[in-house]
Amino acid sequence: MSDELSGNFIRDIVAEDLRAGKHETVVTRFPPEPNGYLHVGHAKSICLNFGVAQEFGGRCHLRFDDTNPLKEEQEYIDSIKEDVRWLGFDWGEHLYNASDYFDQLYEWAELLIRNGRAYVDDQSADQIRESRGTLTEGGRDSPYRGRSGEENLDLFRRMRAGEFPDGARVLRAKIDMASPNINLRDPVMYRILHARHPMTGDKWCIYPSYDYAHGQSDAIEGVTHSLCTLEFEDHRPLYDWFLEHLPVPSRPRQYEFARLNLSYTVLSKRFLLQLVKEGRVRGWDDPRMPTLSGMRRRGFPPEGIREFARMIGVAKRESVVDYAALEHSARDYLNRTVIRRMAVLRPLKVVITNYPEGQTEEFAAVDNPEDPGAGTHPVPFSPILYIERDDFMEEPPKKFYRLAPGREVRLRYAYLITCREVVKDASGQVVELRCTYDPATRGGTAPDGRSPKATLHWVSAAHARPAEVRLYEHLFKSPEPGAAGDLLADLNPRSEEVLARAWIEPGAAGLAVGERVQFERLGYFCVDPDRSADRLVFNRTVTLRDTWAKVQSRQK
């Protein structure tokens, strides 16, 4: 496991800045745009920003980047707050919006105009894009770049007053159209957008760009370390340019780190929104989605996600993390904390022919073998049981040790049983097994020392409760979705399997929505909100098999 987060380069920078007296306290911020739900990539940033602030006794602000009212919704704002809290972090009184600073940003824009560092451009968006040049060729000056300060100020004020339609004009910073950094080729600061804003209503019809609002918002809030992903590295000179040419109250510094790239996963809000709108998933919180709400619904514990963020660390170089590492972190926490119960997903009926008619008894089942203080719970036993269909084969291969004709197996916590007869329907499908039990093996131990190689889970048919179980695989069938050019073509048609006729032991019937459980031999599951009064619905979070841990063990 990596120790990068306990000694990563950003933490080292913060520690040195505090030691050198550059800052009295550390202030970070998490600045999501409320145009979609947060995903696991955001979790890395949340853990970093809030984690660094907590470690050094500082604070982390939650600031919504609400500069585009066309894409922002209250639903997204509410979900972001819920997700951050679910991960275990709190911003306290430090909840802000970029729109809180619109008046100040406007005043500073006028200042840049008066100082000859901003101008109004009448070119269309396509013309501006075309004239910016390429990575190898410089851009061309706008024909409106030489406007006087008075004309620019008049036009900008008329833009604010709503005199012009959307897209008619923009305000651009006047920097250097020949700069090798395209971001410095007179970037757009304001665009006209006649749209109602969730926070400011109809007060504004011009809205600042992210590049303009970001650094100044940091400065107003006294942010010391503005942590961004690597795609903003080329934007840092522009971030600094605005701070240098405006009378900001503080001077934050931007630092970049590698964003999270996860195998079998797409972390694009635009594409995730497409999946939702086209009905290819149940919604933003579909358990197959990499959104935090989807992971919560699937049963991923926030503690496991925080451990995953710690484990993968913080680096400067982009890399792809194996999805199995995320599952490992979740599995490790779940193994130590959740209760065990038995469930049968694909039931096969077993009749114990020599068990006393009408008799039932109970066995004490361990709640969690990893926790000695967890205790036990009673499991009822009766003559008619359900086992997994996969635990029986009429003609077993050499290394199949589970139930077969004439073979003895152990029922977990109960008895040793032997299959005596196989009952089939008219189509030849096995529908029932008739077995005998050894009364002397109560608890699964034989007095004569015989010990079957297989132990099966089961439920009592008379006491079991019906359940629907949803099994999940990766949403994409390729570890690099879209590598061939088409993301939709890589969607996995088997990403969800719904088993509508599962049975659970009564000890699992009282679980509430969101509660997690290990179904023995099957994996970790979580109660879904789709549950009804007479039927629970479970989502499988992860299987019991930890492939990632095995690979790491071999590499050592």
What DSSP state is assigned to residue 386? Answer: E
> Which amino acid is it at 150?
E
Place of tokens 């008895």: 415
CA atoms of 311 and 326, how far apart (whole Å):
9
What DSSP state is assigned to residue 367? Answer: S
CA atoms of 255 and 13, how far apart (whole Å):
9
Query: Any idea which residues carry the catalytic annotation?
Result: 33, 259, 269
Nearest CA to 458 out of 491, 502, 511, 412 is that of 412
What sections of 87-195 are H helices per DSSP? Answer: 102-114, 125-131, 149-161
Q: Quick check: helix, strand or coil at residue 7? A: coil
CA atoms of 65 and 183, how far apart (whole Å):
19
Give the other-Cβ count within 10 Å of 392's Cβ: 22
Distances (CA, A) of 339 to 317, 367, 450, 519: 40, 5, 30, 9
CA atoms of 363 and 520, how far apart (whole Å):
15
Tokens of 266: 């797409």
Please, which residues bridge with residue 543 across strands?
Answer: none
Give the other-Cβ count within 10 Å of 108's Cβ: 21
CA atoms of 180 and 191, how far apart (whole Å):
24
Tokens of 209: 């760009």
